[in-house]
Amino acid sequence: MLTLVAFVVSIAVLVTVHEWGHYAIARGCGVKVLRFSVGFGPRIAGWTSSKLGTEYVVGLFPIGGYVKMLDEQAAPVAESERYMAFSNMPLRSRASIVIAGPLANLLLAVVLYSVVNWIGVEQHQAVLARPHHHSILAESGFVGGERILRAALDGDAMEDVVSFEGFRWWLAKGAIEHRNVQVEFTDPRGGTHSTLLMLAGIDARHADAQLFQKIGAVGPFSRARLGALMPDGAAEQAHLLTGDVVLRVDETDIVDAAQLREVIRSSWRAGTPQRQTWEVTRSGEHMSIAVAPKLVHEGGESIGRVGAIIGGPPAVVMVQYGFLDGISEAFRHAWETSFLTLRVMGQIVMGEASLRNLSGPIAIADYAGKSAAMGFTQFLAFLALMSVSLGVLNLLPLPVLDGGHLMYYLWEALSGKPVAQLWTERLQKVGIVILMMMMSVAIFNDVTRLLR
């Protein structure tokens, strides 16, 4: 239920703001607005302004909206109202009305990001878990436990990194833009170092968890501490206790919980049990304990289990900004998100990025529900991201989108005459086909993710 409510609220807010942008500028330019609709399909609520003559409608299907204006290209207009028709407005007015929708979404994103920055949000500390073998971080010498201090695209000025999520943002930027990332960090012993992560040549066609798997930044650092123990599990039988911190397993130094889980899983890979010697610390006391992981069959392979929760919640930091810094950071984040979104879309068109990067309504609903469950600020941040995506998407030069209409106006400005009605109709049909294909791929991706 939370997922459905969060999804409906998200779509309603984003669509209302987008259409309000068109509506407000249209009214400001003197265009008569016939209908302002949030949602499509049968009308479920609404009213008509006696002063303006505008009908305000809520449709049954909350998947979009529209602003219907007086327009001679859509229907005959009375002579007394021709001066209020959209089609009779100057080119600059028509262009302003069209671009106002996407700009309203981008402005909403800045406002939402600003509110999130002012309230503050808890994020994971920028301390790295042990990277997987053959990942870029592992090949760069990272072993886990390093605290990231600053980062930048190679050649740019270094900037402070305040959270693990902030560090992954730099990694995503580097991979998508095919640029290396300079990183300054402290090792677990306190020494400060700087290194260059070679991301320029990484295959970033899939901007998802696989990308961070290749880089090695799968998750933040979590200490190898035992949580709750299952009755009769290998951990309980070995007389381990909740709160024990594992320092070493046989000849392997344990850096974090992720590494300990992998060592336990691999104990049965040879098909025979491997009794392990664990060095743990308990209440400041070191001790060695023999542990025999039990065999479990999972996904067609034999793995070890000890019957205990491994690792606790990663340490967090409150990321918060003052009034002016919050606004500045919001503008910067909205701009960078817009640029990366356009970059990925361009790479998809050029075949340099996978179509699997497209997400549809099922994924959006899932993210909406998860962000709402995490708290108010997380939901606002999700709304801001979706608002940026909607604004950028509508600026694409597809005939059925705002960007397509802007292309018509560009042609009109350069040639001195509007695009012929016949060509407009043809291009509209092509745009609808392309948009439907994109939606089909996005929904297919959503269903595929659900079935994994």
19 is catalytic: yes
Contacts of 179 (CB under 8 A, 6+ apart): 153, 154, 173, 199, 200
Within 13 Å of residue 400, how many CA atoms lie on the same side as its CB?
12
Could you tell me the maximum CA-CA distance found in the chain, to the nearest angstrom? 93
Gap between the Cα atoms of 235 and 269, Å rounded: 19
Pure H helices in 147-237: 164-177, 209-215, 234-237
Options 19, 72, 159, 236, the catalytic residue:
19
Query: What is the token pair recorded at 31?
Result: 């265009």
Gap between the Cα atoms of 237 and 232, Å rounded: 6
Query: What is the token pair recorded at 333?
Result: 């984040």
Reduced to 3 states, what is the DSSP secondary structure of residue 301?
strand
For residues 380 and 116, the answer to whether their CB atoms sit within 8 Å is yes
Query: What is the token pair recorded at 394?
Result: 């509508």
Gap between the Cα atoms of 413 and 57, Å rounded: 34
39 sits in the region (left: phi over 0; alpha: psi -120 to 50; else beta) called left
For residues 431 and 404, the answer to whether their CB atoms sit within 8 Å is yes
For residues 353 and 207, the answer to whether their CB atoms sit within 8 Å is yes
C-alpha angle 164/168/171, rounded to 5°? 145
Q: Which residues are catalytic?
A: 19
